[in-house]
Structure formats: C-alpha cells, structure tokens
A and B are shown apart, each in its own frame.
Chain A
Amino acid sequence: MTTPSQSPVPARTPAPARVPVLDVRNLRVEYGGDGRAVVGADDVSFTIGAGEVFGLAGESGCGKSTVANALMRLLKPPARITAGTVTFKGCDVLAMDPRELRAFRWREIAMVFQSAMNSLNPVLTIGEQIGDIFTTHERMRKRQARARSGELLELVGIDPARLKSYPHQLSGGMRQRVVIAMAVALKPALLIMDEPTTALDVVVQQEIMAQIGDLQRELGFSVLFITHDMSLMVELSHRMGVMYGGRLVELAPAKELFADPLHPYTQALMNAFPPLTGPRVHLTGLADLPRTGTSCGFHAHCPDDRSDCSMNIPDLREVAAGRFVARTSGGAR
C-alpha cells in the first residue's frame, strides 16, 4: 500500500496573519466605450492576507475572471480599468510600466486560467514547457532547469519521467497539475486560480485541491480561488466574496457565510446545490429574473421592506465584525 501524501484541505490551517498581501479598492472595469459600455466589475473591494485562501464565487458572467485579469493587468481592449486601485505588497499595480510588469507577473502573482489544461503547447514536451520558465525568467542553464522541472513535477505528484511526455499523453487531471506546477514555479506570493477543476471529475478534483493545500502550506503563498461551486469554495477558503452583476454582494469568513448567508443572492446561490445528507428537499435554485435599470434582479427573494434599495445593488456595509453585505441601512434582514 502506498503511504498517503495528501493532508487535509487548507481551510483548516490556522487563520493567517491579517497583513494584506493584496488590497483591491473600488475596482471598476468596463468593456467597450462610446456610452454603451458593459460593466464587467463595479466598485469591487477586498483584501487577501499572507497565506490566506480567499474565494470569489458567483454565477457565469458575474465578473470573476474580469477581476482576476485586472489584478494581473492582463485585460485587453475593449476592456478598461476605469476606477480603483490595486496594491500588492505596497506597490501600485495599476501604475506599473511594461518592464515592471514583466518582473511582477508570474514572479509575484501567478495565475491558473480557466480551462488551462487545454492551453499547454501540443508540440512541446512537458519538460520543455516547464524548463522554459526557468531558462527565461531565472536565466538557468538547460541542465539545471531540467532538474528543477523534475522537482516541480514531483511536487504535484507526477513522476518526473513524464517530463518527456507530450500533453496529449497525459490525462486531463495530470495536465491540470502540470499547469499548477508551472504557476508556482517561480514561488509567487499570490496564486490566482480561475475555476481550476471545473472540467474534472470529483475524485480528480478532490485530489488536486488537496495537493494545492499541501503546496500552499509548503510554499506559504496566498490564493485567490475562483469557482461557482459554493460547496467546494466553503470547504477550501478562509474568507470569501460573492459577486453578482459585477458587484460584490457579500463578503465574510467562509464558514459564517455558509452557516448564515445574509444577502438574498447568496441564499439563492447556496440553494442551487443539493445537499448530500438529510431528507430530499425541493430546491428552486436561482430565479431567472433579469437585472434591469430599476431592479437589482433579486426582488423575488427580498425582504418585504426594501423601500430604498430597489434601484441597484447597494454598497457593502459591515454588519458584524468581518461581515459585509450589500444592503442599505433600511433593509433589515
């Protein structure tokens, strides 16, 4: 029998220090101009502490990837950051010039993209692709790069002999692990993972998440974890934010948010996942109400008295220590 190499998921590690590694304030991203702009992210603010796993949840199109790409300065036209600040270890990320950006990306913040496992170059071996990172960024010799690449593969539980394999010779789960290994190659302080396991089946997903937990403890980086799977997110994150229509509607420690969701949208989102225990209940999931100029789209789930909140999603307000909800002062629970 093999000895277990996995340890429990990172959510149970002691709460990390509250020194923010990343500080995002009032971030606004617009797609397109000429008055007909689509707002991808609107007034988004959050911090991520050293060694902290911060989750960002919400349905498709709510702006999760937009936020992630903005932090990495990877947005391309027609996308524009029109307001807000992004501060990383005290540096103003939005003010960096191209040279500074090159030194910052991958070294300080690395990202595993949505469906990244299909992004490996099909005509290069795994070894060549990982080795490239070390030869270009660290100016390593080929042989040394190969040795480091092997170590890196071992770190994510893949036999270093696989350095000679081409991507198509690996399973989807293995390819995803390779991509994660490449992202942590330069020991970044923050790892962004955009839906890292959505395309994989449950067993492989669990194994990969456990591995990320191990890596995170070993290397000590912070994580911005993006998914629409609330169960997975609550299990893995220390704190989390829920986005809807480009705005954060709730921000809280993951356990508290799960136990007692305050915003109607968070409640509806959690209602979209059937439970594994207890009696069979009927779930309604998310209402199909569109967001319009006069309603934030969640009327069906709202408290009776919403006299002053129905025009748009209000700003976040702190309602208890560390708990923020998009609710106006009048909107009692």
Chain B
Amino acid sequence: MTDRATTTTRTPLMSVRGLTKDFRTGGLFSRDRHRALNAVDLDIPHGRIVALVGESGSGKSTLARCLARLEQPTSGQLLLDGRDVLRTQRRGASRAYRGTVQMVFQDPFGSLNPVHRVEHFLRRALLVHGRPAGEDELRELIATVGLSEDMLQSYPHELSGGQRQRVAIARALAVDPRLVLADEPTSMLDVSVRIGILNLMRRLRDEHGISMLYITHDLASARYVADTTQVLFAGELVEGGDSLALMDRPAHPYTRLLLSAVPDPERESGYDPVERAALRAAVLTPESCPYEDEGTCSRTEPVRHVIGEDEGQPHWVRCHLYAPATPTARRVLTAATPEAENA
C-alpha cells in the first residue's frame, strides 16, 4: 500500500499544464474553432484516484483522450514523471507510454470483439507489450479483476455488463500500467454491478498502487472512490480538493449547482428553486452572477485561490468571491456561512 503522507511531496506521476484543445467546427477549411479545454492544470499523484466531474459537454472525455494521446492537444504540456511527452514524442505516443497509460471506456459492449474468447483479448494485450502470456499470467490477470478462471473460455455475449467491464479492465491491466484513465466506466452498467467496479478500482489503487483518472458525472461515486476531485466546467477546471472536503464545503457556484442536482432523500424539501436559479444564472452568465455585485468578474479571469487544506490536499477554487482582497466577496462569504462570523 502506498504511503499517503509522502505521495504529495513526490513528483506526480502525471502532470497536465496549460492544456488547451480547440476543435474545428464547420467544414474542413472552416476557421471557426470551439475551445473544448482551456489552460487545464491537473496533477495525478502516484497511487491515487483523481475524479474529474462535470456535466455533459464540459470536456471530460476530451481531457482523457488527450492524456491517452488519442487526441493531439492544441497547446500545453503533458508531464509523465516530470518529462514533457508532447515534446519528446511529438508524432504520437511511444510504446512505453501506451504501456504506462491505459484507457477504459464507457461502453463494455462495444469494446470487445464478439468472435473471440476472453482469453484471446488478454493474451493479445500481454503479447503486444512483450510480456509473457502463459496460463499463469492469464489466471492471475482474471483473478485480479474478480472473475473466475473458467471465464477465460467465455465469449463476450455470455458475460453480464459488469463482467464485460471487468474483462475490459483486465485487458488494460495486462500491460501493467501505472495510470488508468476510466471514462464513465459504470454509467452503462446496471446498479447491481456498479459498486463492484468501484470497489475493484479502489483495490487496484490500494494493492497495486495504480493511479487513476475517474471520469463521471455521478458525484456520489466520485466521493466514494476518489482521493481528490476536480470540477470541470465548460473546458476549465474551477475547483479541486480532497473529495470529502470538496463535497462537504463546495465553494464555486458551479460545484454547488452540480451537488444540488444530486438526488438526496435526506434533503427535507426539494432544493430551493430560487437558490438553484441563482446558481444556474451565476454559472451561465458571469455578468449577472448574483454572488458578486461590483462587476469584477466579467472583466477579469479569476485565478486559483487556496481556501483550505485537507488530508494534505489543497482545496482550491477559481472564483473572485474567494479572492481575499475584495470587500464584496468577504461580505458575501460571511453572510453565506454562519461559522465564518466567529472566525
């Protein structure tokens, strides 16, 4: 098991700096661009699970695809062990890189060719990366993901959705990766098997020291598996920190909007609609953000402010409200959190 206390001081396994991705919209010769990611900074430490949350279209998959090098970023750095792979491997990922970083997709049904047995997928993955692919290796691999040996002989259609996703994960593990990028690995699975996949992810982290980027819009599951959670909004990271702390004390209006949308039977009444509309407006039109009243936000880009630390993780947010300098922000903040008055 990894020593959690020291991981933060080490160079992160993967660091993303200023990552920007533009897509061309319109025809082949069109000059119109859509900015899917803007100046994203993100660290994935050794042996940690980092959740990336955000609503549909916020750019989560694009970020994962850039990390997997399935997509060429427009600008920025991708540092693996501190070395910028976008500079050293301009044309595409080296075999070593592909062996280090593996991706697991949302759809366990589409990603396995129906004519082959499970054994075939795993053996091929092992061989492609020059690893021994004997019976022992196969047996160990299938056991790691919690399936029984005889399933090596099964065809994909004979497996349930959860079992198929386990096979897809086993295939990713075949190359002994240090980082697994999991893009909504449970969203197409039935509830009855989701927790099993999340538990498998936790076990791979704890027992094998594998780092993961877990992409989801299910905040409760992010809280369940991920050490830290990063919130992506319209291509920009707006808040990040220890998962429990972030969800207990969400700071950015967008994070609060996301959390307020999670169904919660404990909530006494439906989420206050006035508050929700205000959050929606804050997020969609910065000029009318109800959390500030001096118009500063529409003129300047907010920068990261660290607002706390939990479990050695800084809790940061990009929102002018938390810039200690503005008097408005302090007023709003003290009004919003009763405890703050005593502080």
Q: Which residues of A contact B (CB under 8 A)?
A: 1-9, 11-12, 59-61, 172, 200-207, 210, 213, 228-232, 234-236, 254-255, 258, 269, 271-277, 280, 282-286, 288
A235 touches B257 (CB 8 A): no
Please provide the chain B residues from 190 to 221 with a CB less than 8 Å away from any CB of chain A in the complex.
Answer: 190-196, 198-199, 217-221
26 contacting pairs across A/B (C-beta < 8 A): A1-B281, A1-B290, A4-B274, A4-B276, A8-B269, A8-B270, A12-B269, A12-B270, A59-B191, A60-B190, A204-B56, A229-B191, A229-B263, A230-B265, A235-B264, A272-B191, A272-B195, A274-B198, A274-B224, A276-B247, A276-B264, A277-B248, A277-B266, A280-B223, A283-B199, A285-B196
Contact of B273 among A6, A236, A275, A285 (CB under 8 A): A6
Q: Which residues of A contact B303 (CB under 8 A)?
A: none
Q: Which residues of A contact B263 (CB under 8 A)?
A: 206, 229, 231-232, 234-236
B55 within 8 A of A: yes
A280 and B56 contact, Cβ closer than 8 Å, known pairs A8-B273, A229-B191: no
B262 within 8 A of A: yes
Interface string of B28-49 (1 = CB under 8 A from A): 0000000000000000000000
Q: Which residues of A contact B224 (CB under 8 A)?
A: 274, 280, 283
**A249: shortest Cβ distance to chain B, in Å?**
14
B219 touches A202 (CB 8 A): yes
With A4-B274, A8-B270, A206-B263 given, can you name 17 additional A-B contacts, CB distance below 8 Å? A8-B272, A9-B270, A59-B190, A201-B56, A201-B217, A202-B261, A204-B55, A204-B56, A205-B261, A235-B264, A235-B267, A236-B263, A273-B191, A275-B220, A276-B262, A285-B192, A285-B196
A2 touches B277 (CB 8 A): yes
Measured CB to CB, the nearest residue on chain A to B53 is A202
Please provide the chain B residues from 268 to 293 with a CB less than 8 Å away from any CB of chain A in the complex.
Answer: 269-274, 276-278, 281, 288, 290
A9 to B264, CA, bound (A): 12
**A62: shortest Cβ distance to chain B, in Å?**
9
Q: Which residues of B contact A4 (CB under 8 A)?
A: 273-274, 276-278
Measured CB to CB, the nearest residue on chain A to B217 is A201
A231 and B265 contact, Cβ closer than 8 Å, known pairs A2-B281, A4-B274, A274-B223: yes
Q: Which residues of B contact A232 (CB under 8 A)?
A: 263
A79 to B267, CA, bound (A): 41
Q: Which residues of A contact B278 (CB under 8 A)?
A: 1, 4
Q: Which residues of B contact A234 (CB under 8 A)?
A: 263, 265
B259 within 8 A of A: yes
Q: Which residues of A contact B217 (CB under 8 A)?
A: 201-202
Q: Which residues of B contact A200 (CB under 8 A)?
A: 56
A269 to B265, CA, bound (A): 14
Q: Which residues of A contact B194 (CB under 8 A)?
A: 272, 285
Measured CB to CB, the nearest residue on chain A to B244 is A280
A286 touches B191 (CB 8 A): yes
A284 to B271, CA, bound (A): 29
B260 within 8 A of A: yes
Q: Which residues of B contact A269 (CB under 8 A)?
A: 191
A269 to B190, CA, bound (A): 11
Q: Which residues of A contact B276 (CB under 8 A)?
A: 4, 6
A228 to B195, CA, bound (A): 14
A1 touches B192 (CB 8 A): no
B93 within 8 A of A: no
B151 within 8 A of A: no
Contact of A1 among B55, B244, B288 (CB under 8 A): B288
Contact of A203 among B221, B247, B257, B274 (CB under 8 A): B257
Q: What 6 pairs across the A-B complex have the smallest Cβ distances? A: A8-B270, A285-B195, A4-B277, A274-B224, A9-B270, A206-B261
Q: Which residues of A contact B277 (CB under 8 A)?
A: 1-6
**B201: shortest Cβ distance to chain A, in Å?**
13
Measured CB to CB, the nearest residue on chain A to B285 is A1
A61 to B217, CA, bound (A): 24
B191 touches A7 (CB 8 A): no
A284 touches B219 (CB 8 A): no
